[in-house]
Amino acid sequence: MHISACLFDLDGVIVDTAKYHYLAWRRLANSLGFDFSEAQNEQLKGVSRMQSLQIILEMGGLQRSESELDKLAAQKNEWYLAYVDEMTPDEILPGVVSFLEDLQQSGIRIGLGSASKNARRILDHIGLTHFFDTIIDGNQTTRGKPDPQVFLLGAQALGVDPNHCVVFEDAPKGVEAALAGGFYAIGIGSADHLGHAHLVIPGFEDIDHQVFAQLPPQ
């Protein structure tokens, strides 16, 4: 088995921007006259912006017209980006930089596959853009995970076959997308949620490219 490339999801794998989505949604709920808790926020994981907005409005017992929905979604995104623009390299998750350096030195190509339309902006703020040979994000994709489109576009851009490429994901739908595309999938987090991945690791601390030796033959 020869691994020639890696594709990374962004949120929860390289950096944690989920807290900023929560703060922006909570600010929106507050502006509409009700509060929104972290427990309620769990319902929004892996859900699109417009679906998330509908869920929050239902929590507040509110209804809005189509044009008002667009305005509210735009307002939330503006607040979210204001938080993103304050991000620094301190927010990179532990072990990520040394792992990316190891891949680069080993001649393994590196790509990003994220649903976020702000992926490049986030990478610029945390100083990681230079590691990535390609960045595929929500601006280039038409189908969300568990559809494998984002990863297939990444493999195509890197010039590699999916069966020589490892996808790093922290979400069950992301792992499903990787498997559907014929990639190796390494889950970042807990086997309870990511047991369908080929391998699950808690994070990137003390990990280098030798971890690929633990992958089963495809």
Active-site positions read 9, 11
Cβ contact 94:203 at 8 Å: yes
- The residue behind tokens 């991945």 is 197
Q: Which residues pair with 23 in a beta bridge?
A: none
Token readout for 218 is 């495809």
Cβ contact 186:211 at 8 Å: yes
Residue 37's contacts (CB-CB under 8 Å, 6 or more residues apart) are none
Cβ contact 128:91 at 8 Å: no
- CA 57 to CA 160: how far, in whole Å? 44
Q: Angle at which helices 49-59 and 66-84 pack, to 10 degrees?
A: 110
Closest CA to 9 of 148, 124, 172, 168: 168
Closest CA to 93 of 46, 126, 133: 126
- CA 139 to CA 147: how far, in whole Å? 16
Cβ contact 136:10 at 8 Å: no
